[in-house]
Structure 1
Amino acid sequence: MPRVLIIEDEYALAAALSTVVRRLGAEPVVAASGQGGLEKAQRQSFDAVLLDIGLPDMSGLKVLATLRAGSMPPPVMIITAHGTLDNALEARRLGAHDYFLKPLNLAEIQPQLRALLELPRSEVPQTASSPDPSIMIGDAPDMQKAFAVIAQACATPVPVLLTGQPGTGKTLAAEVIAAQSGPRTLVIFRSDEWPAEQAGAMLSQCLEKSKGGTLLIEEVGALSLPLQATLCRAMSMGEQRVLATSSLPLLEFIHQGRFREDLYYLLSVLHVAIPPLAGRTGDLPALAAALLKRAAPDRDLPLSQEAMAALKGYEWPGNVRELVTAMQHVVAVCATSPVLPRHLPEAIVNTAQESSHLDQALNRALVAWLDQKLTCAEALIPDYDTLLAQIEKPLLAELLARFEDKPTRLAAALNMNRATLRRKLRELLGKE
C-alpha cells in the first residue's frame, strides 16, 4: 500500500487530508510539526508528502529542503495560507511538485495526489535556479493565488498573460518569470508606445530579436487587429516564448471585435491576475516598510499608527507604483522617525483628513447597510441574529485568512472558546 506523509499542525485539516489519502487506497501518516515529520521520514519511506509551510517549530521550506537532500526524495505537495512569491519560488526551486493555497479544495487535491502517487521517483522535478529574494510582497489571498501561478510559470516555458490595473506590478512579475525560467534573452515591446505607422516594423524587429528567447509584450490590448494577426502567426511557429501584460478588459474587447479570441487563448495558457492595492490594504505595512528600506537602506523610518491609518484609508489609484513614489517622498521630507501623516504626500493626507479615521468610515458603511436592510416592509425586516451573522461572516473569513486558516491560533488570539469558534466557522463559512 502506498504511504503518504501529512505534515500539518491543524488537526481538522490533517484529518480531512487523511480521508483523501485513504480514498486513493494509500496509508496516511500524520505529523504535527516539522521535526516530527522529518523523524518519521527518516524511519520509513513515503510515496508522497503533503507539507504545510506554516508549521509551529520551523518553516515547511526547511523541511522540504531536508527531504529533498535525501538519496530518493519523495514528491512533495506544498500547502500554505501564507503564499508569498518568495515562498512559491523557493518551493519550486527546492523541487516541490505542486503548490496549493488554503482554504483547500479537496476535490482538486485528490486527482493531483493520485498523479503524484503514480509518478516514478526519477520524475520528481529537478531544482531550478535560485530566485531573487524579496521580489514581490503580499499576503492577501488574491496575491497568494498570483504568486502560485507565477511560480508555475517559472517552471514551464508556456505563454503567460498578466492582467491588472496600471501600476500593480504586471511588468515586474513578467520579468521575474523571464528571469526565473532560465538564461534566455528577454525582449520587451510596449504596444502603446508606437504610432500605427511604426508599430508593425518594431513588432517584427522584436519578434526577430526574441527568437530562441522570450518576448514580453506590454499592453497587448493596444495592438491593432493586423498586428494581433502577426503575433498569432508568430506564436504558432513557436520560435520564442511570449509573455503579455494588459490593463485593458480583453474579454470585453473580444465581444466588441477589438481583440482576437484565438490570440487571447494562445496568450493565456497561464493567467496571472494581479489585484489592485486598494483591495489588499493588509499588505500595506510590509510593502511600505520594504519600500522605505529600499529607498533609504541606512535609515530606520518606522511608520506611526496615524501614518499607517492614512495609507490604509487611501484608495491608491496608482497602485504599487504610486506607493513607491509615496515612500520616496517620505524619505525626502522625513528627517527623524517615526513617519507622521504630515510626511506623506498631500493627496494621501487630504484623503485621510476627509475620511477622518477608518472607524468612522466603518460606521458610515454600517449605517448605510442598516438603512438598506430596514427600509423594507416591517414583516420582512431580518431578526438580530440574521443581521449579526451577515456581519460576522466576512469578519471571521478575514480573521481566519490572517491566521493562516488555523482556527486554533485564531481562537487563542481572540481569547475565544475553540468549540465556539469552530461552530461559527461551520455555520457561517461551511468550514470544519
Structure 2
Amino acid sequence: MPRILIVDDDLEIRGTMASLLRRQQIDFDQAENLRATRSALETDNYDLLLLDVNLPDGSGLSLLPELRSMANPPEVIILTGKGDPEGAELAIEGGVWDYLVKPASIKDISLSINRALKYKDQRDRSIPRALDLSRMIGTSRAMRECFEVIAQAAVSDANVLITGETGVGKELAARTIHVNSRRAKCPFVVVDCASLTDSLMESTLFGHRKGAFTGAFADREGLVRQAHTGVLFLDELGELPLAMQKSLLRVLQERKFRPIGENREQESDFRLIAATNQDLEELVDYGTFRRDLYFRIKTIRLRIPPLRDRREDIKPLATSFIEQLCRESGIKTKVFGSDFFSSLQDYDWPGNVRELGNVVERALVAAGEEKFLYAMHLPKDLRIKVARSRIEQGAAMADDTSSSCLDIVDFGADFPSLKSFKRMNERRYLEALIRKTGGDVPQILTISGLSRSHFYALLKKYELEA
C-alpha cells in the first residue's frame, strides 16, 4: 500500500488532505514544518509528499535537493497558497511531479495524486538498465543526475543537446550515450562546427561530386552520409552559420540531403547529438541561431556541471588520470601526499576536467622518479592561485571573527545548536554578498560558486531579494 506524507502548517489543509486520502484508503502521515518532515523521512519510507512551500521554519523547496539525493526518493506534489513563477521553475527543476496553487479542486488534487502514485509504482517495478560508464567518473549528486539523463537518452533515438562549459566532457557524454544505445556498433561521426569554414561547410557535411567546383578532383562522401545508421555529433553547435542552420533543419526533418553537384537526393538514417558551451536561448534572442532548429535539437537536454560544482569528484578523477598515465608510461602508480588533493580541492578549475587532466600530467612529469606526488609538484600558477584564495578566505574570516564572537557571547542562555548557527551565518553571507555585488546575480553566482537554482532556493529559504 502506498504511503503519503502531508506537509503543511495549515491544520485545515492537512485535515482536508487526510480526509481525501482516507476515502481512497491510502496510508498517510502529517508534518507541520521542515523539522518534522525531515524526522519523518528519516524513520519512514514514503511514495509521495504533498508539500507546502511556505513553512514556519523555511521553504519547502529547500527539501528538494535532499529528496533527490535519497536512494529511492518519493514523488512530490507542491501545494502552495501563493503562486510564484520562479518558485514553480525551481520546483520543476527540482523534479516535482506537479505544482498546484491553492485552492485547487479536490478533483485535480486527487487526479494528480493517483497519477504520481502510478508513476512511482511503475518506476519501482522497472529494472534499471546497467550503463557502461567506464569512462565517466563521478559519484556526486550532480553527476548521478547526469547519468539518469544519459540512461534515458540511451534507450531512445531522440535528438540530444548537451550543454556545459569548455572542458566538462560533453563529447565523452555523447560517446557514452552512443555506446549504451542500440546504435553502439555503428559509426560515431564528429563534426567540429567551429573549425569549418563557410566555403567548405556544405561540402564537408553533404559531400560533393567530381567537378562540382574548382578543386573537386574526386567524389567525396559527406559526414552526414558517413553517420548513416549511427550518430552525427555536432560539437560547438552555436558556431554553425545561419545559412547552414537552415540546411541542417531540413536534413533533420527529412533525413535527406543533396551533395554538391548531385541531382538526386540521398538518405541518411542518423541520430543527432549536439553540444555547445554557449547559451542557445540567448543566441536565439540575438537572432544568430534559428528558434525552430533549437526546439528540434533539444528533445533531450543534458547539462554537464562544471567541476567546481562537484568537488567531491576531483579526487577520483585525479586518481584515475594518474593511474592511466602511469600504466601508459610503464611506471609504478604514484602515492599521493596529504597536501596534493587539498590543493586540487581549493582550486576553481576554470578549464574543468580537461584542465585537471593536464595538471595531473604536469605533476607526474615534475615528480619524475619520486614515489610520492606532493602539492609542490603541481604547476606554480595553480599553487599561486590556491595560496591567494586561501589568504583571501582567511582574511575574510578574520574580518568577521569579532562580530561573530560577540554574537555568540550575546546568545546567553539561548545558545544555538550548530545547525542553527550555520543557518544564521549562511543568511548573513548571502546578505553581505548581495550588498557587495548590488544584487548582480551572475556576479553572485561566480563569487559564491552556487548554481542559479540553488541560489534562488536559498533566497526563498531566507526570504531575501537580489
Q: What interval of TM-score do these two structures reach, taking the shorter chain for normalisation?
A: 0.5 to 0.7
Deviations 1:173-203 (A, max 9, x none): 0111111112352221111122111111112
The correspondence of residues 172-187 of structure 1 with structure 2, limited to 5 A, is 172-184=172-184, 185=186, 186-187=188-189
> Displacement of 1:324 after TM fit?
1.0
Contact 1:168 1:321 in 2 (8 A): yes
1:53 maps to what in 2?
none
Aligned with residue 310 of structure 2, among 280, 295, 308: 280
Contact 2:238 2:289 in 1 (8 A): yes
Contact 2:325 2:361 in 1 (8 A): yes
2:150 maps to what in 1?
150
One-letter code of the match for 1:283? D
2:69 maps to what in 1?
81
SS at match of 1:215: strand
In the alignment, the residues of structure 1 paired with residue 122 and residue 388 of structure 2 have an alpha-carbon distance, to the nearest angstrom, of: 62
The correspondence of residues 199-238 of structure 1 with structure 2, limited to 5 A, is 199-204=201-206, 205-238=222-255
In the alignment, the residues of structure 2 paired with residue 259 and residue 23 of structure 1 have an alpha-carbon distance, to the nearest angstrom, of: 53
Deviations 1:293-314 (A, max 9, x none): 2222473434333222221222
CA distance change for structure 1 residues 28 and 366 in 2, over 3 Å: closer, same or farther?
same
> Displacement of 1:118 after TM fit?
5.2
Whether 2:271 is the aligned partner of 1:241: answer: yes
In the alignment, the residues of structure 2 paired with residue 182 and residue 269 of structure 1 have an alpha-carbon distance, to the nearest angstrom, of: 18
One-letter code of the match for 1:350? I
In the alignment, the residues of structure 2 paired with residue 247 and residue 217 of structure 1 have an alpha-carbon distance, to the nearest angstrom, of: 12
Deviations 1:28-69 (A, max 9, x none): 699x99xxx9xxxxxxxxxx989xxxxxxxxxxxxxxxxxxx
Whether 2:170 is the aligned partner of 1:131: answer: no
Measured on the aligned residues, the alpha-carbon RMSD in Å equals 4.8
Deviations 1:105-151 (A, max 9, x none): 4647x9898458658x9999987875324332234443333222222
One-letter code of the match for 2:385? T
1:165 maps to what in 2?
165
CA distance change for structure 1 residues 129 and 118 in 2, over 3 Å: closer, same or farther?
closer
One-letter code of the match for 2:346? G
1:301 maps to what in 2?
334
Contact 1:389 1:428 in 2 (8 A): no
In the alignment, the residues of structure 1 paired with residue 22 and residue 204 of structure 2 have an alpha-carbon distance, to the nearest angstrom, of: 56
CA distance change for structure 1 residues 290 and 318 in 2, over 3 Å: closer, same or farther?
same
> Displacement of 1:274 after TM fit?
1.2
1:13 maps to what in 2?
none
1:65 maps to what in 2?
none
In the alignment, the residues of structure 1 paired with residue 271 and residue 192 of structure 2 have an alpha-carbon distance, to the nearest angstrom, of: 16
2:408 maps to what in 1?
none
1:417 maps to what in 2?
none
One-letter code of the match for 2:192? R
CA distance change for structure 1 residues 350 and 170 in 2, over 3 Å: closer, same or farther?
same
In the alignment, the residues of structure 1 paired with residue 426 and residue 340 of structure 2 have an alpha-carbon distance, to the nearest angstrom, of: 28
Whether 2:397 is the aligned partner of 1:354: answer: no
SS at match of 1:296: helix
CA distance change for structure 1 residues 123 and 301 in 2, over 3 Å: closer, same or farther?
closer
Contact 1:313 1:351 in 2 (8 A): no
Aligned with residue 361 of structure 2, among 328, 350, 359: 328
Paired residue total: 321
Structure 1: gaps spanning 5 or more residues: 7-18, 38-47, 51-78, 88-100, 374-383, 396-424
Contact 2:363 2:377 in 1 (8 A): yes
CA distance change for structure 1 residues 369 and 287 in 2, over 3 Å: closer, same or farther?
farther
Contact 2:98 2:112 in 1 (8 A): no
TM-score normalised over the length of structure 2: 0.56
> Rg larger in 1 or in 2?
2
1:57 maps to what in 2?
none
> Displacement of 1:339 after TM fit?
1.7
Contact 1:162 1:245 in 2 (8 A): yes
2:377 maps to what in 1?
343
One-letter code of the match for 1:324? G
One-letter code of the match for 1:330? A
> Displacement of 1:26 after TM fit?
6.7
The correspondence of residues 34-53 of structure 1 with structure 2, limited to 5 A, is none
CA distance change for structure 1 residues 103 and 116 in 2, over 3 Å: closer, same or farther?
closer
